[in-house]
Amino acid sequence: MSHLISTSILNADFSNLQKALEMINTSEADWFHLDIMDGVFVPNISFGPPIVEQIKKHAKKLLDVHLMIVEPDKYIERFKESGAGYLTVHYEACTHLHRTIQNIKSLGIKAGVALNPHTPVELLKEIIQDIDLVLIMTVEPGFGGQTFIQHSYNKIVRLKNMIKETGSSALIEVDGGVDLSNTRLLVDSGVDVLVVGSFIFRSTNPQDTITKLKLA
């Protein structure tokens, strides 16, 4: 499988969000990445289900929803109703992770688990076969435009080996500091899905940038 591009709309111009969505629709991007932040789990606030519903009305590609919130179990059904195709929760926010994953999958959507930079991938060994996606945060969660954490490569390789050893079909996704300088190395390390936001939306030609990321 060629690597996928999940375009993070957090860096888009929200005063003209429909234009950004249409750009992604007609680009070679594969998914829309939606960061949901509550100001508690991470020191920032973004948007909730009502905005996701509006995005769904215009999006022609899968919604990759990343919950950076406390008590995600309370909102799983609501985000499913809003149009999530993948719903990713944080390992650090879930007391009963297996139950949370099963709740997500029971609604007919894909379940992901995100790991903060300090959280080792080995903590997922007992549940990796139940997960559809593992999101490795390659910056501290909460803000866009941060510098990529270099030791993430080793973490990705360890996760890829775990997936192979257990026979899991989980995809590996990375989020934070992704650009053309590290895309190929990330893919070679085992990454399946690249979340890219600021690098796309700050470029002079976002569609061309997405194409270059796909071809890298």
Beta-bridge partner residues of 7: 32, 196
Question: Among 30, 35, 38, 132, which one carries the catalytic annotation?
Answer: 35
CATH number, domain at 22?
Answer: 3.20.20.70
Which of 152, 187, 200, 177 lies closest to 29, judged by CA?
Answer: 200
User: CB count, 10 Å around CB of 69?
Assistant: 20
Question: Among 30, 38, 175, 179, which one carries the catalytic annotation?
Answer: 175
CA–CA dist 109, 86 (Å, integer)? 6
User: Helix crossing, 17-25 with 206-215: angle to 10°?
Assistant: 40
Positive or negative, the CA dihedral 81, 82, 84, 89 is negative
Range of the domain at 40: 4-215
- Is 175 known to be catalytic? yes
Token pair in block for residue 35: 């960061």
Token pair in block for residue 108: 């007919």
> Count of domains in the chain?
1
Tens digit of each residue's pLDDT (9 = 90 or more) over 23-61: 999 999 999 999 999 999 999 999 999 999 999 999 999
CA–CA dist 146, 189 (Å, integer)? 21
CA–CA dist 69, 92 (Å, integer)? 10
Tens digit of each residue's pLDDT (9 = 90 or more) over 66-104: 999 999 999 999 999 999 999 999 999 999 999 999 999
Tens digit of each residue's pLDDT (9 = 90 or more) over 114-172: 999 999 999 999 999 999 999 999 998 876 667 899 999 999 999 999 999 999 999 99
- Is 35 known to be catalytic? yes
Give the per-residue pLDDT at 141. 85
Q: Within 13 Å of residue 41, how many CA atoms lie on the same side as its CB? A: 22
How is 113-170 classified by DSSP, letter by letter?
EEE-TTS-GGGGTTTGGG-SEEEEESS-TT-SSPPPPTTHHHHHHHHHHHHHHHT---
At 57 the three-state DSSP class reads helix
Beta-bridge partner residues of 4: 193
pTM: 0.96
CA–CA dist 137, 195 (Å, integer)? 10
